[in-house]
Amino acid sequence: MEFFERFAIPHPSPLIYASMVAIGLVMLAIVFGLTYFKKWGYLWREWLTTVDHKRIGIMYMISAILMLFRGGADAVMMRLQTAVPDNTFLDAQHYNEVFTTHGVVMIIFMAMAFIIGMMNFVVPLQIGARDVAFPRLNAISFWLYFAGAMLFNISFVIGGSPDAGWTNYFPLAGTDFSETVGVNYYMWALQISGLGTLMTGINFIVTIFKMRAPGMTLMKMPMFTWSALITNVIIVFAFPVLTIALLMGTFDRQFGTHFFASTNGGMDMLWANLFWVWGHPEVYILILPAFGVYSEVIATFSQRNLYGYKSMVGSMVLISFMSFLVWVHHFFTMGHGALVNGIFSITTMAIAVPTGIKIFNWLLTMWKGKIRFTVPMLYSIGFIPLFTIGGVTGVMLAIASADYQYHNTMFLVAHFHNVIIPGVVFAMLAGLTYWWPKMFGFMLNERIGKWGFWFLSIGFCLAFFPMYITGLDGQARRMYTYSEETGFGPLNMLSFFGAGLMAIAFILIVYNVYYSFRYAPRNVGQDPWNARSLEWATQTPVPEYNFAVTPVVNSSEAYWDSKKNGHQLFKDKISKIHMPNNSGLPIIMAGFFFIFGFSFVFSIWVGVILSALGIFGCMAYRTFENDHGRYISEEEIHETEKNFGGAKE
């Protein structure tokens, strides 16, 4: 019996039982639906085994939106709990689990998935490639991410969620203070999806360096591709640190080592350092692709070329380098003295300079432009002032002496939501709306989209601006409750109200998908926004081979030049195209990884060994597999292109 007791939740509550039932029902409904509509084969052939970067990108984004709702539910629960003083909606332990999973889900499984999904869909199209460099590796990346996300999400129904914060500081995260398997889940879920991310990093660097269309030198790449390149370089440098830190943490928890213990030569501060050596570049991994999206959207809807292309690229390169030099600002209060703090304070503030350059370049892109207020543009316009506020509060936090007062307070919480929500989330919504017609062949409804934007922006301001004030009034973060005398009550209530508006916004955004799917016209053409870069030069929705003929590029806005200046994009004749075959191996391998992670979490060594054999078996199979891909014949391409409205030669 003892064997099974470990799987029970240590702190059950009606909410958890309700979500267990909900999860069960949803899974039953999905299985039943797929069987009833006879879609199992379609799902397997077209999606689960696909190596097409566009479909993988879409699957990433669907998962990201699901995770957004998971993390969002956590957020609403937290705001509800703290809306009034001495609330008893959640108890301390449950609240601790909720804010931990909120952080992890939003950063690792929502934001990361969203940006990687968007890079997957857009980058090969923007550089005129047929796919990424290693399509099957790309599928493995996605399925590893998915396995990690699922592993993390089952934690709250089997064995208990992690409860040491998303930063997971030792010794709190060690077995002395966190006895349940929760933190084991944290270790393995992040480890598995982190491996996927690392593979993505390598894949995209190779793709961008080796697979650009003829004529596209590095300085003629569209800005989103540039941001993707820099992001992936940061990924390749930063993620190995996380991999090792997680492994050391696992050893501490499960094999009795003392890397992060405060006794026997271990050092608790080592975790904090390793975590943030990865964690701070991670912030820029999230924000740079967002900057890329804004650069595309603002240029398109101002009907102008991007101002200061070179300084945009230069500032991103500088940011990527400096992002590795600032990690200590996450724990100025650890007592390393004024000299160390002074140095990291200066490097941190210095990183504001390249970021500031970008803000002014976007403003100057609008200058003399012809600005259209579409939904993607609204998000970009809202981004500029809101992100500036988030940025300048970042500079305030960078002043070490003042940080002694902001640290660990709601001021900090307000700051990083102020950069991540208008920065990353707005960008992803802008990008999703912008590239939606490329993905699905119809546009999202503008009216509902605008409602969504206003609910989200106003909700955001109401939810997070009060936190700056309560932070300065001494409200520490991560407190599950507070007394009435503190006077935090009214402002926290306002925050809860704002969170409610944001929840409505996300429901509107999803409703918009449903509404537009049913009612939007399908004949939008290949370039509905009058856009500028290469992805708009192909058909809508994009055929699996992307471009029937590889385009020839002369500038960073090749498609615009072809529309306005008579540049000829497609010079060659259509000939047969080599494409990779679909493969079931990635999802099977990720399945083994899931079992491996789950077994490891509960120290079920038989499961660990068997699944490890399975993983190596998959690798061996791939090594000896004879799969050279396939060709799409000329006739087939002509046929496809004709269906989309005439071949382009």
Q: Which of residues 578-637 bind another protein (CB under 8 A)?
A: none
The answer to whether 357 contacts another protein (rule: CB under 8 A) is yes
Q: Which of residues 246-305 bind another protein (CB under 8 A)?
A: 262-263, 265, 267-269, 272, 302-305
Among 24, 214, 385, 645, binds another protein (CB under 8 A): 385
**Min CB(235)–another protein separation in Å:** 27
Among 10, 215, 240, 369, binds another protein (CB under 8 A): 369
The answer to whether 372 contacts another protein (rule: CB under 8 A) is yes
Contact predicate 203/122, CB 8 Å: no
Q: Which amino acid is at 400?
A: A
**Min CB(432)–another protein separation in Å:** 21
**How many other CB atoms are found less than 10 A from the CB of residue 457?**
23
Nearer to another protein, 234 or 494 (CB): 494
Task: Pick the piece of the chain touching another protein (CB under 8 A) from 214-222, 245-253, 326-334, 543-551.
Answer: 326-334
**Min CB(397)–another protein separation in Å:** 9
The answer to whether 642 contacts another protein (rule: CB under 8 A) is no
The answer to whether 640 contacts another protein (rule: CB under 8 A) is no
Binding mask 465-504 for another protein (x = CB under 8 A): xx--x--xxx-xxxxxxx----x---x-------------
Contact predicate 595/607, CB 8 Å: yes
The answer to whether 380 contacts another protein (rule: CB under 8 A) is no
Among 402, 510, 513, 632, binds another protein (CB under 8 A): 402
Structure tokens belonging to residue 324? 């590795």
Residue 615 CA to residue 140 CA, distance in Å, equals 12
The label of the residue with tokens 């209530």 reads: 493
Region of 215 on the Ramachandran plot (φ > 0 left; ψ -120 to 50 alpha; else beta): left
The label of the residue with tokens 């407190």 reads: 479
**Min CB(336)–another protein separation in Å:** 7
Structure tokens belonging to residue 288? 């740079």
Region of 285 on the Ramachandran plot (φ > 0 left; ψ -120 to 50 alpha; else beta): alpha
Residues in contact with another protein, counted by CB under 8 A, come to a total of 98
Alpha carbon 414 to its chain centroid, in Å, reads: 20
Task: Pick the piece of the chain touching another protein (CB under 8 A) from 53-61, 334-342, 595-603, 607-615.
Answer: 334-342
Q: Which of residues 431-460 bind another protein (CB under 8 A)?
A: 454, 457-458
The answer to whether 464 contacts another protein (rule: CB under 8 A) is no
**Min CB(156)–another protein separation in Å:** 17
Q: Which of residues 68-97 bind another protein (CB under 8 A)?
A: 92-93, 96
Among 23, 66, 334, 504, binds another protein (CB under 8 A): 334
Residue 630's H or E segment, with its range, is strand 630-632
**Min CB(198)–another protein separation in Å:** 29
Residue 639 CA to residue 102 CA, distance in Å, equals 48
Q: Which amino acid is at 495?
A: S
Contact predicate 153/97, CB 8 Å: no
Residue 186 CA to residue 180 CA, distance in Å, equals 12
**Min CB(613)–another protein separation in Å:** 38
**Min CB(272)–another protein separation in Å:** 8
DSSP assignments along 442-505, one per residue: SPPPHHHHHHHHHHHHHHHHHHHHHHHHHHHTT-BTT-S---GGG--HHHHHHHHHHHHHHHHH
